[in-house]
Every structure is written in structure tokens, then in C-alpha cells.
A and B are shown apart, each in its own frame.
Chain A
């Protein structure tokens, strides 16, 4: 690869882009519209954490949770105010776990819960809430009070089950905070995918690849210049979105250097994937179809507009096979949770995927005919 060729081609791409009003609109104005629109739609929703993280230490001697503890959690879930999610982190670690995952509510059911309840021995639950997240704290405490009362009155309203409330200092995120990494991910996906799929097929049809094949420019150089262009564009778009989110909606996101690798490998992956999709298609029409089939599920299910953790388990599992999930999750880790190790794992997954797809794309797209 020669830098001179890549630089020469990069200038052509940039000129083409700056002279195209539609392209300029989508990279400069559209991000602001997107942030404003979704910011307004979700601004009433406020806090998004209604999930109650539960550590259940009340096991049967033969294994499995005791029937009473299961019935208790079932009753909590049935309130529909909270969504119970049982984790196995150990009661003493729950507070830390909540903090690391930006979750504001948790519950510990102690060992011997069923036994004590059936024997009318007072038993104490531990509940964690975050006063800053008033709505979800209130929801959890209200639901808990109702269910506890129900269980106690089932036994003649004797105060058997009680609970102690602890505060957790986990950061509280609002929808707009999640929207920023999500919508940057949306731009990283859609902008290169749609245009590369189109370029791959239309340049072939118009003979522009044939024209370029008569020059010393190689396919790898050509694709690299496209990747670099979309990386540059992604930095601009991300900057606009973060700026608009902070100015218009007071978003809280961390602007760390950890974001940079994702703004590089994200476009690297999707420029290559768009080129690959466009190359395997025979006509511009089928290229657009293949592009849409790949793009649309990712557009909605990777944590762009809706958090993956709020989706049904089946869809959550599906999201984990979507490359964009790892881009957005990684950005969430660096911009919201400061979870470097998980961000690094996400980054590695996307990077390896990018290299594979890039090599496949330059292998499969042909300058000239056999």
C-alpha cells in the first residue's frame, strides 16, 4: 500500500462528498435532527432503570431456589412495576455490582428465608436504591412494600418479613445518555453501509472500477481511502451528536480517549462490510436489497434507539451476534460506565471482524472481468 495513492484517492472522495448537498445534509444536519427527535421523544421517560437486580441466597438443601423465595420474586415481577433479574454475584458484592453496571436498584434474599417465614421467625431483606434515581427507587420500594404486606397478611398480618433500605451511589443515566452512544453507532452503521453498497455496484456498472483498474491504484488502497474518509466523517458526526446532546438535553457522557478506537474500528468494519455486500451482488437493485437485509436488524436491535438490556431475552441473544452491538456496547462502556476491560473485549471483537471483512471485500470485489 502506498500512502501517496491513498492520499490522492482520499482527496477525490472528499471533494465528491463536499460537492454533494445530500451527503452533507446526512453527515452534518441529520445527526442534530436525530438527537433532537429522540431526545424529545424520550425526554419524559427520565430514568430508564426499572430492573431490580436480585441475589437469592435461599437455596433448597438439594439445590435450586426455595419455593417461597421463588413465589416472592414472582409476586414482585407480577406487579409489572419492576422487572426482576436474578444474578449470582454474592450478597456482599451486590452494591459494587450495581455501581459498575449503572443499575440503581437491588435486593438480597438471605439464606433461610423460607424456613424463617414458615416458622414465623422475623426475616430481613436488604434492598438497595439510589435516591438520585427517584422514580425507579420509588417504584421498587412501593412494589416491595406491597408484596411484603401481601406475604405477611397471608400469615395473619404478622410482621414476619421486613426489609432494610441501603443507598447505592451508582451513577444515574437518563435516556439521552444512552442515546448518544446508540445514535453514534447508528451513524457508524448507516452512513458507510448505504453508500458503500451503492458505490460497489454502481461504480462497477458505470465502468469506474474498470477505469481505476487501468491506474496503479490497488483495491486495498482504494478501500483504505474510503475507510479513512468514513473515520474522518464519523469523528465529525460523533462530535455533533455529543455536542447537541449536551447542549440541548444536558446529557452526561464521559469524553475519554477510549472513545477514539471505536470511532475508528466502527467505520473500518462497516465500510468493508458495505463493500463486501455490494461486491457479491450482481445488480445495483440486489445490492441495495442485501444491504438492507444486513442493515435493518442492526439498526434497531443493537442498542441504537433501545437499550439491549431492556429487550426480551431472545432478542438480547440475537443482538449479541450483531457486530454493531459490540461497537455500541463498547462506547457505552467508555462513555458511561468506565468499564475498560469490557470495552477492550468489545473492541477486540470488532477489530478482528473488521480485518476479516476487509480482506474478504478486497478479495471478492473485482476491478476487471475474467
Chain B
């Protein structure tokens, strides 16, 4: 099946500044692709180019086989977009807005069913200016779905929302995937991407610095998992001597790197065999957020060489 989104060598320059500097990636249909990066990294610019709202300077971009800028009108019939901070006519209700969009797109979607889908039925007849932040985002989501889009673009859909509202939006995104739609999600909540996305790409200073499945990126760029127990320097020394493990003690905590799944059991057995006092053990591993912070930090220090997209 051809990719839903295909980007190659994309550049967007404002004067001499390259906001997007030669990026490439591919999004298979029916998957959730998450585009991550700190503020000002080039996320929104890239997203707007894909949506046909901004003209690119260089490179190849196809969305559903179309050139987003040249074929914008055709593309807009087939995609749904929720911008960052969705705004609409203040005195219009979600239901009226859907009826309006339905007429414009010439579809016959049922407004009530759509509002049910985004969990906004109770506010169907409330005017935009009376809605909360989360309800406004759901309103935007419902409008973006009026034309039964093949790809949904969500630009930081949960920014500024409370945890309950965020969870509700996540549920909708999962549903979109279940319905076979492709989702292009930009966010700076890393756990959101880790939880929802099949593929992620991290963009920084207009370049992609890591790409792949969330677990693959963590494996490739994260620190190995560690086990930590409360114990003495003597315990750390015992483990180094008997297991050759990289055990270190700091402020009453002994931590040991886990290179393999089986390591945890071996280490616990050794600790018990040492006869030294110890209590409570925990295991920790890097999250996408840890990796993200490290990669972005390294790049800012100039320590990391840019790597291309897969």
C-alpha cells in the first residue's frame, strides 16, 4: 500500500533561516505517527506544509498521493485538521458548526453521532464562547471529522488541557486508529507519543534527530535499565567483585545496570547471598522523554551528528 504521507528533502526557509532543513519520513496508512520536538523546532511549519496551508521552499511532499500546496482543494476534502488552539465563531454551537461544514463538504454525517464520538454530546447546543479548553478541542476534533477524513492532523491537541480532558482526547485518537484512519500527531507531551504512536520522529532545529518506533528509539538512544536497592558501599563492592557488575553506591542507594532480562534475578540472588543488609528494590528504564531530553540536549551542545530518517 502506498504511504499516506511521504516527505523527502523538505526545506522551508524564511529569508536565510531554515525552519525546516531537509527532513524526510514516511507514514504508512492506518498508523499513528507522532512528530516531536521542542518549541520552535519546525513541527508546526512541517505540519502546515503537509496540510497545504504553507508553501514549501524545496523537497518532495505527497499526502494521499497529492501535492498539498498545488492540490490543496482536493486534499482538504480528504483530510481533517485540528490546529493548535482551535478557534471558531464565538456564538455558534458545535451542532450548528457541523451542519455548516456538512453543507460545505456535501456529506450527510449525523451531527449527534459525531458529537457522541468525540464525547461532546452534552454540549451540542452550547455556544463556542461558553466551552472549556478541552471542550473546544473536542469541538475542533468533531469538525475535523465532518468530511470522514482519511488522515487526521492533530497539532498539539492536548496542550493546556487538564488530565481528564487529555485522556478523553487520547481515547478519541485511539478510536480514529481503530477506524483505519491515519493520524499525524504533533505534541510535546512525550508520554502521549509513547502511548499512542506507532512511529515517532524527533525534530530539532529543523532536522530529524531520531526516528522509529518509540521502543526502538529508547533502545537505541536510552541508557540501559537499572536496578536500585537501598544498601551500603560494602554491598556495591560485593556485587562488583562477585558479578563483575557495574554497581555503584550513592547516598545509601546501590544501583546496578541491567544488560539482560535475566540480570535482575542474578543480582537479587547475589544480594541475598551476600548476607549484607538491604531493603526495597526498584527497576528503572529510560522513557521517551528521557531520550528526548538527552538527544535535544546533546544536539544543543553540538555533540550529536544529525542522522537521517529511516
Contact = CB atoms under 8 A, between A and B. Distances in A.
The yes or no verdict on A and B being binding partners is: yes
Contact of A19 (B55, B87, B106, B127): B127
Interface in B36-88: 48, 51-55, 72-73, 76-77, 79, 81, 83, 85-88
Contact of B91 (A5, A20, A215, A216): A20
A210 interface: yes
B91 A210 contact: no
A14 to B, nearest CB: 11
Contacts of B87: 206-208, 211
A215 to B, nearest CB: 5
A11 B98 CA distance: 13
A84 B264 CA distance: 111
A213 interface: yes
Contacts of A15: 91-92, 96
B76 A368 contact: no
Contacts of B96: 12, 15
A341 B54 CA distance: 51
A257 interface: no
A370 B55 contact: yes
B52 A368 contact: yes
B103 A4 contact: yes
Contacts of A8: 99-100, 103-104
A223 to B, nearest CB: 15
B101 interface: yes
B76 A214 contact: yes
Given A19-B91, A368-B53, A369-B53, A216 B83 contact: no
Q: Give the interface residue-count category, chain B.
A: 20 to 34
B104 A216 contact: yes
Nearest to A205: B87
A215 B143 CA distance: 10
Interface in A305-327: none
B105 interface: yes
A7 interface: yes
Q: With a 10 A CB-CB cut-off, give which of A5, A19, A216, A217 has the most chain B CB atoms.
A: A216
Nearest to A23: B91
Given A15-B91, A216-B73, A210 B53 contact: yes
A16 B92 contact: yes
A9 B53 contact: no
A368 B53 CA distance: 5
A214 B81 contact: yes
15 contacts: A4-B106, A12-B89, A15-B96, A16-B89, A16-B90, A206-B87, A207-B85, A211-B83, A214-B51, A214-B53, A215-B76, A215-B104, A216-B104, A217-B104, A369-B54
Q: With a 10 A CB-CB cut-off, give which of B92, B104, B106 has the most chain A CB atoms.
A: B104
Contacts of B79: 214
Given A211-B143, A214-B81, A369-B55, 13 more contacts: A5-B103, A8-B99, A8-B103, A8-B104, A9-B100, A16-B90, A210-B83, A214-B76, A215-B101, A215-B104, A216-B76, A368-B53, A370-B55
Contacts of B81: 214
Contacts of B51: 214
A224 to B, nearest CB: 14
A210 B76 CA distance: 12
Contacts of B72: 213, 368
Interface string B294-306: 0000000000000
Contacts of B101: 215
B104 to A, nearest CB: 5
